[in-house]
């Protein structure tokens, strides 16, 4: 079900949620706050985490019986779009999609659920590993006798998280364990990205950890949580693209050449119209995918919908932000103008969890397999 097909009351709930989130982020300082945090060394604002939690942001997809709002993935997409509009550094999508996505599927009664929803803690999720050639590798991180050994790569928010949800190999199959930040034998190598955020490489050497779940359900829950997060990342890109286009539109209306605003030139108008259409199409496609995922139980179908959303959002975001730099002219390359912040964030977010080429390939492979069946 798409957002336009929702009952009027549900559409109104989403509208109010969007207005509430936008007001919260704008009151906090908008994209200017993100610039200040980047310049002060990266990371996020702990006070903002608490404000977001008080507004119900982290519990938006969590069922009511587990302390959340139970509004579904479409509502999560609304929040993600607003995060993208101000390029907020807080780990909203990671928490809603991955951390809570895993816990609510595997151990909904664990105390960390309430703490995450309430903004009392932030947990990073570590499930990927780097091979000898630098690319992804099969899982080799081990959990035995209550301790972790091995390593994990590409962990978002690793340097600021209070703990880690780690997917590792146990004696009887995959396990989900919780390791506290600063635990014995745990080292974190933070690597700065283009937008000022950091991804971490984790190394475990007999690190104590608490087992939360085990068996094939861990991999099933992880796959579903990654699909959710991929679709939410697409929504964040949609919000980012929309704001980047607005900034550019404002600029071409005021920037003058030959005593005229450059926005009065037909060639610029045509480019602006093309970007607007691309933005609207991406927004519609992503919102539709989120709505359909809310009502879909088949993990393969949900993964395909997530891939479709991410592919479309990445293509739009890269085109819109790059053209925005060009339309700003030389000043677009300076750090003084916010548009560069949006380009850098778009590049980082586009690559995370797979870019447009990767997700198109997944989508076509899934469709071919479905046809063959």
Hey, what are 47's tokens? 């006070």
The owner of tokens 């955020």 is 197
Say which residues have a Cβ less than 8 Å from residue 300's Cβ, sequence separation at least 6: 366
If 0-12 CB within 10 Å is exposed, 13-18 middle and 19+ buried, where does residue 110 land? Answer: middle
Domain boundary among 72, 95, 122: 122
Tell me what pLDDT residue 266 has.
Answer: 80
My answer on whether 311 and 181 are in the same domain is no
My answer on whether 241 and 317 are in the same domain is yes
Question: How would DSSP label each residue in 49-103?
Answer: HHHHHHTT-TTSSS-GGGTS----HHHHHHHHHHHHHTT--S-HHIIIIIIHHHH
My answer on whether 154 and 92 are in the same domain is no
168 pLDDT more than 90: yes
3 pLDDT more than 70: no
- Mean pLDDT for the chain? 91
Question: How would DSSP label each residue in 25-37?
Answer: HHHHTHHHHHHHH
Tell me the longest C-alpha to C-alpha distance in the chain.
Answer: 75
Which structural domain range is residue 116 located in? 3-122
Distance CA 217, CA 226 (A): 14
pTM: 0.93
My answer on whether 143 and 27 are in the same domain is no
Domain boundary among 94, 122, 150: 122
Distance CA 166, CA 303 (A): 21
5 pLDDT more than 70: no
Q: How far apart are the first and last CA of the chain?
A: 26
Q: Which residue has the higher pLDDT, 155 or 261?
A: 155
Q: How confident is the model at residue 34 (pLDDT cuts 50, 70, 90)?
A: confident
Residue 196 in 3-state DSSP? coil
37 pLDDT more than 90: no
The HSE-up count of residue 40 (CA atoms within 13 Å, CB side) is 10
Domain boundary among 84, 104, 122: 122
- Residue 43: CB atoms within 10 A of its CB come to 17
Instruction: Note whether 314 and 237 are within 8 A (CB).
Output: yes
Hey, what are 26's tokens? 């704008």
My answer on whether 131 and 243 are in the same domain is no
My answer on whether 355 and 268 are in the same domain is yes
Assign residue 91 the CATH number of its domain: 1.10.540.10
Tell me what pLDDT residue 217 has.
Answer: 96
Residue 123 in 3-state DSSP? strand
My answer on whether 251 and 351 are in the same domain is yes
My answer on whether 104 and 154 are in the same domain is no
Mean local confidence (pLDDT), 135-164:
92
Which percentage of the chain shows pLDDT scores above 90?
69
My answer on whether 10 and 90 are in the same domain is yes
353 pLDDT more than 70: yes
38 pLDDT more than 70: yes
* pLDDT tens column, 227-273: 999 999 999 999 999 999 999 999 888 876 777 777 667 888 889 99
Q: Is residue 143 within a helix (H) or strand (E), and if so which, with residue range? A: strand 142-144
Geometric angle at alpha carbon 247, from 245 and 251, rounded to 5°: 115
Tell me what pLDDT residue 340 has.
Answer: 92
Q: What are the contacts of 361-365 at 24+ separation with CB within 8 A?
A: 362/303, 362/304, 362/307, 363/304, 363/307, 363/308, 363/311
Q: Is residue 148 within a helix (H) or strand (E), and if so which, with residue range? A: strand 147-156
Residue 171 in 3-state DSSP? coil
Instruction: Note whether 59 and 220 are within 8 A (CB).
Output: no
2 pLDDT more than 60: no
Distance CA 232, CA 222 (A): 15
My answer on whether 34 and 65 are in the same domain is yes
167 pLDDT more than 70: yes
- Residue 219: CB atoms within 10 A of its CB come to 15
* pLDDT tens column, 45-64: 889 999 999 999 999 999 99
Helix axes 339-351, 299-328, angle to 10 degrees: 150
Tell me what pLDDT residue 8 has.
Answer: 62
Tell me what pLDDT residue 373 has.
Answer: 58
* pLDDT tens column, 94-126: 999 999 999 999 999 999 999 999 999 999 999
Domains in the chain, number: 3
My answer on whether 222 and 367 are in the same domain is yes
Instruction: Note whether 164 and 124 are within 8 A (CB).
Output: yes
Assign residue 305 the CATH number of its domain: 1.20.140.10
The owner of tokens 């959340």 is 68
My answer on whether 230 and 324 are in the same domain is yes
Assign residue 175 the CATH number of its domain: 2.40.110.10
If 0-12 CB within 10 Å is exposed, 13-18 middle and 19+ buried, where does residue 185 land? Answer: middle
Question: How would DSSP label each residue in 344-360?
Answer: HHHHHHHHTT--HHHHH
Question: How would DSSP label each residue in 230-277?
Answer: HHHHHHHHHHHHHHHHHHHHHHHHH-EETTEEGGGSHHHHHHHHHHHH
Tell me what pLDDT residue 274 has.
Answer: 94
């Amino acid at each position: 079900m798409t957002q336009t097909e929702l009952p009027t009351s549900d559409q109104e709930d989403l509208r109010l949620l969007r207005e509430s989130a936008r007001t919260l982020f704008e009151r906090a300082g908008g994209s200017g706050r993100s610039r200040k945090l980047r310049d002060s060394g990266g990371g996020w604002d702990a006070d903002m985490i608490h404000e977001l939690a008080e507004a119900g942001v982290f519990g938006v997809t969590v069922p009511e019986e587990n302390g959340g709002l139970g509004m579904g993935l479409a509502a999560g997409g609304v929040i993600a779009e607003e995060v993208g509009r101000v390029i907020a550094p807080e780990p909203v999508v990671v928490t809603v999609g991955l951390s809570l996505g895993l816990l609510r599927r595997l151990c909904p009664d664990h105390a960390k659920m309430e703490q995450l929803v309430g903004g009392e803690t932030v947990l990073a999720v570590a499930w990927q590993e780097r091979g000898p050639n630098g690319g992804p590798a099969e899982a080799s991180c081990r959990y035995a006798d209550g301790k972790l050994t091995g390593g994990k790569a590409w962990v978002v928010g690793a340097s600021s998280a209070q703990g880690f949800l780690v997917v590792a190999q146990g004696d009887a199959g995959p396990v989900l364990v919780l390791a506290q930040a600063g635990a014995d034998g745990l080292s974190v190598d933070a690597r700065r990205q283009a937008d000022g955020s950091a991804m971490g490489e984790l190394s475990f050497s007999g690190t104590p950890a608490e087992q939360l779940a085990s068996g094939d359900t861990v991999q099933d829950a992880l796959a579903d949580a990654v699909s959710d997060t991929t679709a939410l990342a697409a929504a964040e890109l949609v919000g980012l693209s929309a704001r980047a286009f607005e900034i550019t539109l404002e600029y071409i209306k005021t920037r003058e050449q030959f005593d005229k605003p450059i926005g009065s030139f037909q060639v610029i108008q045509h480019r602006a119209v093309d970007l607007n259409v691309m933005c609207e199409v991406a927004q519609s496609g992503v919102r539709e995918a989120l709505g359909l995922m809310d009502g879909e139980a088949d993990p393969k179908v949900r993964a395909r919908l997530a891939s479709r959303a991410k592919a479309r959002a990445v293509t739009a975001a890269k085109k819109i932000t790059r053209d925005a730099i060009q339309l700003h002219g030389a000043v677009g390359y300076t750090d003084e103008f916010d548009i560069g912040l949006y380009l850098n964030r778009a590049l980082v977010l586009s690559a995370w969890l797979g870019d447009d080429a990767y997700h198109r390939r997944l989508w076509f492979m899934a469709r071919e397999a479905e046809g063959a069946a």
